[in-house]
Amino acid sequence: MTRVKICGITNPDDLRAAVEAGADAIGFIRVPESPRFVPDDLFHALVQATPPFVTTVAVVRRPSDATNSATDCVQYYEEGESPALPKRRIRAFRVRGEESLMEVENYAGAEAVHAYHLDAYHPGMLGGAGERFDWNLARRITEIAAKPIVLAGGLTPDNVVEAIRQVQPYAVDVSTGVEISPGRKDHAKLRTFIAAVRGADRTERTGE
């Protein structure tokens, strides 16, 4: 089954809608420069409001930015100081081109992480730009990486089925593709996105 992470949640209504729609994981942005940044008090309240069996993910620049995080997982983009965190790590890569395959293949911190997150490179943003990258590169990374792959970058209810068919990722991650505006989700799009993923999985299993 392809897991679904809904990222950039900033308020209780959107959290509730994502959970009710069947999200497997919820992402909270902890990078202050992001328009989806969640301040400390709200962040902790949202984490506490997430029900059991739904994975919570703190999205940070470096692992050291999540030392006080109460989430199940930490997703990060840069190494920096790397404290021992009692939680699972997801290393994010911003995919540009062929050089990104080598970056993943030669990643020195592989032993410390549990999954790789693939997003489109953007010169001014760590993630959440809503831009798609070459899925052929993503597919090739899944073939060389000995880690589960989380596919992000420009996914929408309209293209996620094809993304799953081409890449066969462990999980898909969406933020911009189900938004009304940065930090506000379109609940109908949320439901449609997750339903599309479940439909793609059924098709894969049955061959219909």
Q: Please report where in the chains the tokens 């309240």 appear, as a residue.
A: 45
d(CA 78, CA 84): 15
What is the pLDDT at residue 118?
A: 96
Rounded distance between C-alpha atoms, residue 175 and residue 151, angstroms:
12
Instruction: Name the token pair of 89.
Output: 């790590």
Percent of the chain whose pLDDT exceeds 90: 71
Decide: 132 and 154 in contact? Cβ < 8 Å: yes
pTM of the model as a whole? 0.92
CA atoms within 13 A on the CB side of 205: 8
Six token digits for residue 4: 């679904």
Please give the pLDDT value at position 11: 98
Residue 60 tokens, joined: 């940070």
Instruction: Return the CATH number of the domain spanning residue range 3-206.
Output: 3.20.20.70
Q: What are phi and psi of 149, to 5 degrees?
A: -110, 130
41 catalytic residue (yes or no): no
In this structure, what are the phi and psi dihedrals at residue 37, rounded to the nearest 5 degrees? -60, 135
Per the residue annotation, which of 14, 119, 134, 186 is the catalytic one? 119
Q: 153-195: per-residue pLDDT in tens?
A: 999 999 999 999 999 999 999 999 999 999 999 999 999 999 9
User: Taking a C-beta distance cutoff of 8 angstroms, is the pair 154, 122 a contact?
Assistant: no
Q: How many CB atoms lie within 10 A of CB 141?
A: 23
pLDDT of res. 67: 73
Residues 6+ away with beta carbon under 8 Å from 142? 149, 167, 168, 169
Least confident of 50-59, 122-131, 150-159, 194-203: 122-131
The number of CA neighbours under 13 Å toward the Cβ of 98 is: 0
Is residue 32 a contact partner of residue 14, using CB atoms and an 8 Å limit? no
pLDDT at position 69: 79
Is residue 8 scored above 70 in pLDDT? yes
In the set 7, 14, 65, 73, the catalytic residue is 7
pLDDT value at 103 more than 80: yes
Residue 99: what pLDDT? 87
Rounded to an integer, the average pLDDT of 34-59 is 96
User: Is 119 among the catalytic positions?
Assistant: yes
Q: Encoding tokens for residue 38?
A: 């969640």
Does 208 have pLDDT greater than 60?
no
pLDDT band at 117 (very low <50, low <70, confident <90, very high): very high
The pLDDT of residue 50 is 98
* pLDDT tens-place string over residues 58-99: 999 988 888 777 899 999 998 866 556 657 999 999 998 888
pLDDT tens across 47-67, in order?
Answer: 999 999 999 999 999 888 887
The whole-number pLDDT of residue 84 equals 61
In this prediction, residue 63 carries a pLDDT of 87
